[in-house]
Amino acid sequence: MTASLRTLPNGVRVVCDPMPGLETLALTVVAGRGAAYEDPARSGWSHLLEHMVFKGAGGRSARDIVEVIENQGGSINAATGYERTSFQVRALKGGLDLGMDVIADLVRRPTLDPADLTREKQVVAQEIAEAADAPDDYVFDLIQRASWGDHPVGRPILGSDETVEAATVEALSDWRAQLYAADRLVVSATGAVDEAELMAAAERAFGDLPAAPGAPVPTPATFVGGPQAEARKLEQAHLVFMLPACGSRHDDYFALRIFAETLGGGMSSRLFQEAREKRGLAYNIDAYADTYADHGGLGVYAGCAAGDAIETAKVCAEEVAKLAQRIDEAELARAKAQLKAHMFMAREQPLSRAEQGAGQVLLFDRLYPPSELATEVDAVTSADVARLGQRLLSGQAATAVLGAKSALKAGEVFAKTLSSKA
């Protein structure tokens, strides 16, 4: 059975992707907005709002929201990102109507009680503190700032204590109307689902949602680059390096994914073999494509002893520069196979598949069948990877280092080494 995409009269799009043989379903309602749409004064409000809707909605208490789903064997969750906010239900076959009704209440009819807001601000403050205390989390806040500067994607999704504290019930209610507007809402269901049943449920839940536009679309972020470094007494130094690349809509997107896979995507990757297997510099080291709709970067993360930070930075820069010049045909074939495997294995998980479908609709206003994705991956050539490599080397690197003082110059070493090899 093939997936279908239909649109309600008010603009809400609906993806139905049955998976024959399953006794469960996954439902996600995705608003194509998140922290990237926030101005500085509202930093963290999208995440705070996601918390708040679970405190009460549609006449249900916080406990009722969870119990009504779990009593039927299901689970409910949500996630806030820079460009989207997702509300997710996993349920047994037959649980679609209940899941849709509960999510619709969260999105459309939250209680937003002032007393709940006071308490939830304290919870989010603890979440912010926890992230700051976790070096392998906090270093990624540093690299966002170094990469994207004052743009909203350069700020933490959680916001700050000050901006979260400034939120009021009235202001959050107004933000909810902008964030969850019909023009960027996608309902996506996979697994044991029927299209007619899904369309009826979606129409009932969201068909009368006003079609008024939501929050203004932010300008695409411009890669800034530069260093961020903080000294802490830690057992490890945490290093993240970012280079300017492209967004998910760009023709070189799959070349970027292949570059990241070859550089540090697995145990056969260049970084793993050189930095860990040959030199024993790092236990954790990998590369990744950090992409948004219209901008993105290539990231490298390494956790190493402070005394090895400088050498690790050199190795990372050298391997990036080498790969930017040439990729072996065997490496290219292996990276393509790995990338296709990652995409197709994700499609075997109903919730991941539902989120993937919603993401495709938000980015391209269409669905991509697996065969088409495979064709696009297979079409990437060594020349495409080389062109992408030159783009990576074209701007100032962004670097983030967290650890002992002796490790803090690792970012500078990475940037200088890469510049000398370009």
Q: Which residue has the tokens 């896979």?
A: 261
Asked if residue 124 and residue 55 are part of one domain, the reply reads yes
Closest of 48, 96, 357 to residue 205, by C-alpha: 96
Q: Quick one: pLDDT band at residue 421, thresholds 50, 70, 90?
A: confident
For 249-269, what is the mean pLDDT? 97
CB 195 within 8 A of CB 22: no
For 51-57, what is the mean pLDDT? 98
Q: Do the domain assignments include residue 211?
A: no
Asked if residue 379 and residue 322 are part of one domain, the reply reads yes
Identity of the amino acid at 385: V
- Structure confidence by residue, pLDDT tens digits, 6-24: 999 999 999 999 999 999 9
Q: Do the domain assignments include residue 299?
A: yes
pLDDT of residue 211: 80
With a pLDDT cut of 70, the percent of the chain lying above it is 100
Asked if residue 242 and residue 142 are part of one domain, the reply reads no
For 22-31, what is the mean pLDDT? 98
> 333: helix, coil or strand?
helix
For 114-136, what is the mean pLDDT? 97
Asked if residue 186 and residue 84 are part of one domain, the reply reads yes
pTM: 0.95
Asked if residue 152 and residue 268 are part of one domain, the reply reads no
Residue at which a domain ends, from 153, 171, 206: 206
> What CATH code is carried by the domain that includes residue 177?
3.30.830.10
> 320: helix, coil or strand?
helix
pLDDT of residue 220: 86
CB 44 within 8 A of CB 157: yes
Q: Do the domain assignments include residue 369?
A: yes
pLDDT of residue 217: 86
Asked if residue 233 and residue 157 are part of one domain, the reply reads no
Find the domain containing 37 and state its range: 4-206
- Structure confidence by residue, pLDDT tens digits, 357-401: 999 999 999 999 999 999 999 999 999 999 999 999 998 999 999
Residue at which a domain ends, from 137, 171, 206: 206
pLDDT of residue 1: 75
Q: Do the domain assignments include residue 219?
A: no
Asked if residue 191 and residue 244 are part of one domain, the reply reads no
Asked if residue 285 and residue 356 are part of one domain, the reply reads yes
Distance CA 57, CA 106 (A): 5
Asked if residue 243 and residue 184 are part of one domain, the reply reads no
Q: Do the domain assignments include residue 302?
A: yes
For 340-347, what is the mean pLDDT? 96
Asked if residue 416 and residue 276 are part of one domain, the reply reads yes
- Structure confidence by residue, pLDDT tens digits, 102-111: 999 999 999 9
Indicate the number of domains in the chain: 2
> Cα-flanking dihedrals φ and ψ of residue 405, to 5°?
-55, -35
pLDDT of residue 214: 81
Burial class (CB in 10 A: 0-12, 13-18, 19+), 266: middle
Q: Do the domain assignments include residue 220?
A: no
DSSP 77-100: EEEE-SS-EEEEEEEETT-HHHHH
pLDDT of residue 344: 95
pLDDT of residue 245: 97
Residue at which a domain ends, from 171, 206, 241: 206
- Structure confidence by residue, pLDDT tens digits, 131-163: 999 999 999 999 999 999 999 999 999 999 999
- Structure confidence by residue, pLDDT tens digits, 196-241: 999 999 999 999 998 878 888 888 899 999 999 999 999 999 999 9
Q: Do the domain assignments include residue 181?
A: yes
Asked if residue 90 and residue 20 are part of one domain, the reply reads yes
For 265-288, what is the mean pLDDT? 97
CB 247 within 8 A of CB 292: yes
Write down the mean pLDDT value for the chain.
97
pLDDT of residue 213: 81
> Cα-flanking dihedrals φ and ψ of residue 15, to 5°?
-110, 125
Asked if residue 243 and residue 202 are part of one domain, the reply reads no
pLDDT of residue 189: 98
Q: Do the domain assignments include residue 218?
A: no
For 309-320, what is the mean pLDDT? 98
Distances in Å between the alpha carbon of 312 and those of 67, 104, 275, 317, 401? 49, 49, 7, 9, 12
